[in-house]
Amino acid sequence: MFALTAVLLFASMLQNIFNLPIFKPLKGVVVEEAKPEFTFRNCCDGSFQQQVEPYLKQHLGCREPLIRLYNQYLWDCYGKTPVTEGQVTFGKDGWMYEPWVVADHYQRQFRYYASDSTQMATMLSEEAQRVLQLQEILDSYGIKLFVCLVPAKDLICPEYLPENQDTRLDNEPKISARFFNEEEYTRIGVNHLNLEQWFLQIKDTADFMLFPKTGTHWSRYAALQGADTLIRYMEHLGGINMHNLVIGPRYLHRAIDPDDDLESLLNLMRPLPRPKYWYADVKADDDTTAVKPKIIVIGDSFWWTIAAQLPFGEFFSESPYWYYNSTVYYDPRYNSVDEFDLAEELLTADFVVLFYCATQQYRMNDGFTQKAIEALGQMPEGVDWDSTAYIEREIQKTIARLLADHNSMDMIREKAETNGFSIEEQLRADAEWIINYQILQGTFNWPIRKKETNTKSEDYGIQ
């Protein structure tokens, strides 16, 4: 008994030293604690002890099973979990939702982005105009841009939502990005595919779950159906023949990530009671006439469910994924969107897809459209998108400024004499150099098309 007690007391230390056995990692975001450096001074003033405590908590031996055991005890005995409401919201019959999904259903989500519904409507309208402008720019190069409106769990499975606990804003005007954008894109002519609308249509007839009980993303099998529709839309929009999905025989299986991504945050010892879900393998068809376009996807985590199943190389020549227009995946050359020339990357694509679910459409595509317009350097309406004409006007303005500056004109006269140019020729050469330098440095002031002002906010989901 003494030996057994000693082993138990030192088991944590031994597991930490030898890292055996290897336990399944805990789910969720982890901020790694730095190992503090021991010095005489920080030991005496107590700062070492304060720093080492969170480090030891994070690197405790047998930490994973101990935490899971404690979480299971809370769940079984008290129906509670240490997971905060900021991560998971529990609905009816054991259904789980992300809290911002619930907030968006009750039209409170816009409050994180704007002070009121009118401001939010203006922001969404301006972004829709930018999307249209970028669509027209890319279309002039033969590149198709479109928006994919991805379904969110609250609209497809509202019957299991918890009751609205925050009624403070019930009497104020509200707005929902999903309804606003659908109406606005249709009105102004933005290419878009509304998968949320399609999911609503098939909800009562589909023989598979569109959203899992304990997950926040669409089910893996539903994502395959969405991918199939996406490819067929690309064929229609681009006027091309692509490889289509061949979905293999279905089979029932316990939840495969991410179908249980919310449940996994609870870090329990055993899975919760839940139904099994349909899964299937997928490949491309054998069409020898099909082409493989390059697709760039800018979007949120819903794309992961497609990426986890689709053999991209069988459908696309390249398929980089710019996650929230920040981190780059499926492109061995880059890790971040800050590492490449944006205009150059866009002009090598065949399709550019803005892929955000309803609750993330308030993010204004994470600034992508604004940066892309500026990078491509295209002109607003009224100049026929002719950058040459606009640059010529800026050169003439620069010449006028140089003529008004006596010091500059003295230098130009000296250079003209040295180079054997006339004053007019040297003046023109200096003005062109200034404009070209600004373009190369990215400081040239390309204009952006002004938004339309006839939008009626009450027509787009504002109560």
Strands, DSSP E only, in 282-361? Answer: 282-284, 295-299, 321-323, 327-329, 351-357
Specify if 463 maps to a domain.
Answer: no
For residue 347, the one-letter residue type is: L
Which range of residues forms the domain containing residue 434?
387-441
Specify if 446 maps to a domain.
Answer: no
Res 59: pLDDT: 75
Res 236: pLDDT: 96
Residues 66 and 107 in one domain: no
Could you give the residue ranges of the DSSP H alpha helices within 261-321?
A: 261-264, 302-307
Res 167: pLDDT: 67
Res 446: pLDDT: 60
Distance CA 153, CA 258 (A): 14
Q: Are 80 and 72 in contact (CB under 8 A)?
A: no
Residues 252 and 391 in one domain: no
Domain count, the chain: 3
Strands, DSSP E only, in 141-190? Answer: 144-150
Distance CA 373, CA 381 (A): 13
Residues 62 and 98 in one domain: no
Specify if 11 maps to a domain.
Answer: yes
Hey, is 416 helix, strand or coil? helix
Q: Are 48 and 39 in contact (CB under 8 A)?
A: yes
Residues 407 and 356 in one domain: no
pLDDT in tens, the chain (463 residues): 998 888 777 887 777 777 777 778 888 767 777 888 888 888 888 888 888 888 877 777 788 888 889 889 988 898 888 876 678 999 999 899 999 999 999 988 898 888 889 999 999 999 999 999 999 989 988 899 999 999 999 999 999 999 887 666 666 788 999 999 999 999 999 999 999 999 999 999 999 999 999 999 999 999 999 999 999 999 999 999 999 999 999 999 999 988 999 998 898 988 888 889 999 999 999 998 999 999 999 999 999 999 999 999 999 999 999 999 999 999 999 999 999 889 889 988 999 999 999 999 999 999 999 999 888 874 444 434 445 656 777 788 788 888 878 888 889 999 998 888 998 899 999 999 998 888 777 677 665 433 333 333 333 333 3
Distance CA 345, CA 335 (A): 14
Distance CA 399, CA 397 (A): 5
Residues 285 and 144 in one domain: yes
Specify if 98 maps to a domain.
Answer: yes
Element (H, E) at 193: strand 192-194
Specify if 461 maps to a domain.
Answer: no
- Please tell me the total number of residues recorded for the chain in this structure: 463
Residues 137 and 280 in one domain: yes
Q: How many CA atoms lie within 13 A of 145 on its CB side?
A: 25
Residues 165 and 106 in one domain: yes
Residues 151 and 187 in one domain: yes
Residues 136 and 166 in one domain: yes
Residues 220 and 156 in one domain: yes
Which residues sit opposite 352 in a β-bridge?
145, 296
Residues 296 and 214 in one domain: yes
Residues 282 and 369 in one domain: yes
Specify if 458 maps to a domain.
Answer: no
At 424, give phi and psi (nearest 5°).
Answer: -65, -40
- Orientation angle between helical segments 406-419 and 423-441, nearest 10 degrees: 110
Non-local (6+) Cβ contacts of 425 within 8 A are 416
Specify if 290 maps to a domain.
Answer: yes
Element (H, E) at 247: strand 245-247
